[in-house]
């Protein structure tokens, strides 16, 4: 993948009906019956339409809601928010910046120690790239997120 992310019409044409409903029609998938809600494997999640990096397993947590939940985007510039007034209570919708895919919503009930936000994201909007495949898939720059920290301070 390159850093030239965009809404790819070919990718849109390959979406499953559920992926299309969620990403293009602002849908919501059922809780606990989606691909990534309980995935604990290290890796990153990218937009199913544009391929732009969105979230890392390092910021994923179990919110007990049945949807993948994250404390922060992997690249803040790839996730945009806007007010959503479709329910009785106003919410904040999150979309991919370059693919314009509906991802889900962000709430202020996340882990306090990690900033207090919960990005509640539809699995149908995401493609998971395992840490072992990052280089091959063109996301090698994110490999460092999954390497052990060098706690020797540069001393051998």
Contact 97, 79 (CB under 8 A): yes
Task: Exactly one of 49, 106, 120, 124 is catalytic; name it.
Answer: 120
**CB neighbours of residue 89 within 10 Å:** 6
Query: How many angstroms separate the CA atoms of 60 and 149, rounded?
Result: 19
Could you tell me which of 75, 80, 72, 129 has the C-alpha nearest to residue 102? 80
Query: How many angstroms separate the CA atoms of 58 and 6, rounded?
Result: 25
**51 counts as catalytic:** no
Active site residues: 120
């Amino acid at each position: 993948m390159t850093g030239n992310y965009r809404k790819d019409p070919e990718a849109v044409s390959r979406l499953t009906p559920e992926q299309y409903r969620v990403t293009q029609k602002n849908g919501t998938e059922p809780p606990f019956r989606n691909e990534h809600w309980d995935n604990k494997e290290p890796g990153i999640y990218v937009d199913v339409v544009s391929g732009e990096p969105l979230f890392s397993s390092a910021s994923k947590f179990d919110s007990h809601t049945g949807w993948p939940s994250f404390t922060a985007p992997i690249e803040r510039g790839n996730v945009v928010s806007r007010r959503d007034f479709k329910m009785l209570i106003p919410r904040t919708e999150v979309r991919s910046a370059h693919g314009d895919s509906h991802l889900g919503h962000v709430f202020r009930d996340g882990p306090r120690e990690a900033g207090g936000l919960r990005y509640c994201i539809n699995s149908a909007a995401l493609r998971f790239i395992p840490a072992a495949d990052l280089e091959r898939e063109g996301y090698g720059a994110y490999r460092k997120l999954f390497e052990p920290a060098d706690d020797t301070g540069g001393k051998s």
